[in-house]
Structure 1
Amino acid sequence: MADIAATLRRPFPEQIAAFRARLGDLVPTARWDDIRRSAHDRAFMVAGATKADLLADLAAAVDRSISEGLGIETFRAEFRRIVDARGWHGWTGEGPRAGEAWRTRVIYRTNMRTSYAAGRMAQLREAGFPLWVYRHGGSLEPRLEHLGWDGLVLPVDHPFWATHAPPNGWGCSCYILGARNLAHARRLGGRMFEAPEGWEKISPRTGAPVGIDKGWDYAPGATVTDTILALRKKLDELPPRPSIDLIQSWLVSDVFKTWFAAPRGLSPLVRLPEEAAARIGAQRRVADLSAESALKQARAHPELTPADYALAQLTVDDPTHTVQDSPLSLVFIRDADDGHLLVVKATRSGQGLFVTSFRRMSARAVERQRLIDRLLRRE
């Protein structure tokens, strides 16, 4: 569970965008089921919270927990402060310490897990995986049905996912992985390739398919995928540190690895310091890697891996040298600890900002290049 909690506290752009898609509609409610199923994709609520200022404060506290990767104890302290300041009484769990711990845990984990799932769904759909793999989250008290779905591999358009995309209940930590083909799915733990018989059977007790808690028979984020992807593109509007953290989380994700193998469109790569962007007259701060540049780089430097690209931000943040290559371009150079040189070239083009070159050069290669440069200068 500690590993799962650590993962959920590691924010990424789509997860933050998924939660912020809800903030335009703060809904006063008396009961937890006043809002049902996919309506949660576009609305924020806390059962029993009916005042606008209280809801706004709670929403802001959850947003900070998600976007800054804060732990549950920090959220609990914020919750206590808000409840006291707003004079909220009569909420379920109020009074005993155990009750407060339970209520804050439900609010924290539910929002963390549903926003995480919604963000991941946006990533999976953008990456174009044809198959999805259901994986059990490894909870200490597993639901038998969820264990039974572990390793299930189905096409992304199978109706199973419309109701069974996790989380599938309170405390559920199941998740989905994307696969390019059946062999890839097997490597990810896939072992069943047909939906189990009776998967769509409805429980008369919950009104949801058997094995899914009441109100959880929907796919978090499915109705707002386009909104999530659009909000992710607003990295430029965030303060530097959250923006950089989000870009880094994207670069170390499996979805970036898939993008890197077959790039299309743009991928955010680094955020320039204010003074660096000003030197080349850039209005933007986040520099993208285009599919064209990624393919060109792959041909010229096949040794580069997605993990190498995650070092680009360090080069920009703490360069050994910075050279203004032209009025529109800056080159950042960093002497790495392993004897390599890291080189990032950022170029302004119109209203855009792009990384047009990234190199990881060995010391030997650097010496060869210096020798060639000296010879050329003599000519």
Structure 2
Amino acid sequence: MPETRMPGPVPKDALAYFKDKDLRVGFDHRDVWGDEHAHAFTVAKMTKLDLLQATQDSLADALENGETFRDWSERIKPEMAKRGWWGVKEQIDPLTGESQRVQLGSPARLKTIYRANMRSARAAGQWQRIQRTKESRPFLVYRLGPSEEHRADHVELQGLTLPVDDPTWGQIYPPNGYGCKCWVEQVDQATRDQYAADGVPDATASQEIDPETGQPTGRRITRRVPAQTSRPNLPRKRYVNKRTGEVQYAPQGVHPAWANNSGQARVRVLREALSRKIETADQQLARAAVNRVVDSPVLDQFLADADAHKAVLARTTDHIDEASRRRVIDSIGDLPVAYADRELAAYVGSKTQLVRMSAESAGKQLVRHPDIDAASYQSLDEVLATGEVLRKDIRTIIVFGSDSSGAHLRAVLKRAGKNNNELFLTTFHRVDEGRRKKAREAMKRLRASR
């Protein structure tokens, strides 16, 4: 977003995202790469953990209190100098073992550290707000920031107007490089239609010049660029990280270190961290943690990611490339959606009580049961705890229950994994009482035939 908007406290979820980052020591900026930045705080050549922690804490304070760069730099510079992290010094590169003269702290590096962390945290926070308000403002417009000069590839993106959940935003959601001030404007249908008809305000418009004096008048020339309402063909460039050997592809004009959506990356990291914590927690804490996931933007984002690819996930489109489909499934992952009682887990033969939903099941749900939204999953835990359980086969059970409004719901759980250490929700939808009675009678006939 524009630099003038940067001061001011960030939203709580963006601040929590920044504070929850793990410390990662790196000698070179390429040692921590891509999505790793979503869960790791690092400063190149800052190899002392105590100084790295102090720097992260100082930036968290700056984010929380809305400090300007000048305020923050005046606080942190003496701390860095006191700990010997200032100026040009000799350091050993742990990868090569060679000694190098390297630039540590400097005014220019402080600006990079401040701006990169401010922009990524604010972008992550903005993405969460976008997800919460996309029903009334379902479109995003790519806008240029207040820089005097703009990258040519970013100018080409100016005016791009696409739905919030279009997968393109997973590749070019700004910032898209060091020093990038691009931002997105969230708009409603009427504004989107107006932009499509009249164009989007052009941020590259020059200042008006007085013909008599030859001096700027202080006004900018009003100019508009066409709104691009179709998904663009983004040429991709191959990058090889010479430090790690990792090969990465990023859209042309997007720096590979910024080639992700910081808001989506935040959700993926939070999801993975929560999953690990839930698996090791006791029953009460685990159930509370799962409930927080289901009642948070994490579930909204998971379903939005699945919705963007539901045709591929549910196999409702022709000519599916299985390798591409697998990449989609792997990129979305799965999500904890409930925590079953011990008895229920034992009945289905599962060694875990944590119930997950895969990307594939989420895509099928969105196609077959579009009325089941994120809020509906808040009833799942209660359905599993109080519902009527019927066995479908040795690995699968069906649970019939009701939500707080009295609506009948059907959930199907299936155990998986070589050691029966996974438990998945394969479907969850509303049913009428007749369907429930038929299922019960079918189960009785099946038991009687054995």
Percent identity reads 28
What is residue 181 of structure 1 aligned with on the other side?
189
Structure 1: which 4+ aligned runs deviate by more than 6 Å?
A: 226-229
**Aligned with residue 77 of structure 1, among 74, 77, 100:** 74
**Aligned with residue 221 of structure 1, among 248, 257, 263:** 263
Whether the 8 Å CA contact 1:168–1:213 is kept in 2: the answer is yes
TM-score (norm 1): 0.53
Instruction: Quickly say closer, same or farther: Cα 1:204–1:111, change in 2 above 3 A.
Output: closer
Q: d(CA) in 2 for partners of 1:86 and 1:64?
A: 20
Report Cα offsets for 1:148-179 as digits up to 9, x if no partner. 11110112232211111100001001111222
Instruction: Quickly say closer, same or farther: Cα 1:185–1:145, change in 2 above 3 A.
Output: farther
**Aligned with residue 65 of structure 2, among 65, 68, 71:** 68
Q: d(CA) in 2 for partners of 1:122 and 1:76?
A: 28
SS in 2 for 1:208: strand
Whether the 8 Å CA contact 1:30–1:50 is kept in 2: the answer is yes
Whether the 8 Å CA contact 1:202–1:210 is kept in 2: the answer is yes
Q: d(CA) in 1 for partners of 2:52 and 2:193?
A: 42
Report Cα offsets for 1:262-281 as digits up to 9, x if no partner. xxxxxxxxxxxxxxxxxxxx
Relative to its length, the structure with more strand (as a share) is: 2
Kindly report which structure 2 residues correspond to 1:207-286, keeping only aligned pairs within 5 A, or say none.
207-225=249-267
Kindly report which structure 2 residues correspond to 1:87-236, keeping only aligned pairs within 5 A, or say none.
87-88=84-85, 90=89, 92-94=102-104, 100-128=106-134, 129-181=137-189, 183-184=191-192, 186-187=194-195, 189=200, 191-197=227-233, 199-203=234-238, 207-225=249-267
For 1:10, the aligned partner's letter is G
Instruction: Quickly say closer, same or farther: Cα 1:78–1:101, change in 2 above 3 A.
Output: same
TM-superposed deviation, 1:28: 1.0
Q: d(CA) in 2 for partners of 1:145 and 1:186?
A: 25
Instruction: Quickly say closer, same or farther: Cα 1:107–1:185, change in 2 above 3 A.
Output: farther
Whether the 8 Å CA contact 2:139–2:161 is kept in 1: the answer is yes
Report Cα offsets for 1:313-346 as digits up to 9, x if no partner. xxxxxxxxxxxxxxxxxxxxxxxxxxxxxxxxxx
TM-superposed deviation, 1:183: 3.7
What is residue 7 of structure 2 aligned with on the other side?
9
TM-superposed deviation, 1:146: 0.7
SS in 1 for 2:127: helix
Q: How many residues align?
A: 220
SS in 2 for 1:47: coil
Instruction: Quickly say closer, same or farther: Cα 1:122–1:227, change in 2 above 3 A.
Output: farther
TM-superposed deviation, 1:105: 0.5
TM-superposed deviation, 1:37: 1.7
Whether the 8 Å CA contact 1:28–1:50 is kept in 2: the answer is yes
SS in 1 for 2:41: coil
For 1:50, the aligned partner's letter is T
Report Cα offsets for 1:6-50 as digits up to 9, x if no partner. 31112232432332232xx11111111212222212221111112
Report Cα offsets for 1:169-209 as digits up to 9, x if no partner. 01001111222326446459371101333x14225588422
User: Which blocks of at least 5 consecutive residues in structure 1 are unaligned?
Assistant: 230-379
Q: d(CA) in 2 for partners of 1:127 and 1:53?
A: 40
Instruction: Quickly say closer, same or farther: Cα 1:45–1:113, change in 2 above 3 A.
Output: same
Superposition RMSD on alpha carbons, in Å?
2.7
Instruction: Quickly say closer, same or farther: Cα 1:203–1:144, change in 2 above 3 A.
Output: farther
Q: d(CA) in 2 for partners of 1:182 and 1:150?
A: 19
Q: d(CA) in 1 for partners of 2:267 and 2:236?
A: 27
User: Which blocks of at least 5 consecutive residues in structure 2 are unaligned?
Assistant: 92-101, 201-225, 241-247, 272-450
For 2:264, the aligned partner's letter is A
Whether the 8 Å CA contact 2:139–2:192 is kept in 1: the answer is no
For 2:130, the aligned partner's letter is L
For 2:253, the aligned partner's letter is G
Whether the 8 Å CA contact 1:41–1:223 is kept in 2: the answer is yes
Instruction: Quickly say closer, same or farther: Cα 1:132–1:21, change in 2 above 3 A.
Output: farther
Q: d(CA) in 1 for partners of 2:239 and 2:264?
A: 25
For 2:236, the aligned partner's letter is K
Whether the 8 Å CA contact 1:58–1:79 is kept in 2: the answer is yes
Q: d(CA) in 2 for partners of 1:181 and 1:21?
A: 36
Kindly report which structure 2 residues correspond to 1:313-328, keeping only aligned pairs within 5 A, or say none.
none
Q: d(CA) in 2 for partners of 1:81 and 1:50?
A: 18
For 2:143, the aligned partner's letter is R
- Larger relative contact order (CA 8 Å, sep ≥ 6): 1
Instruction: Quickly say closer, same or farther: Cα 1:170–1:41, change in 2 above 3 A.
Output: same
Q: d(CA) in 1 for partners of 2:232 and 2:128?
A: 26
Q: d(CA) in 2 for partners of 1:224 and 1:210?
A: 23
**Aligned with residue 30 of structure 1, among 12, 27, 30:** 27
Instruction: Quickly say closer, same or farther: Cα 1:18–1:185, change in 2 above 3 A.
Output: farther
For 1:93, the aligned partner's letter is Q
Q: d(CA) in 2 for partners of 1:140 and 1:102?
A: 18
Q: d(CA) in 1 for partners of 2:239 and 2:267?
A: 31
For 1:216, the aligned partner's letter is W
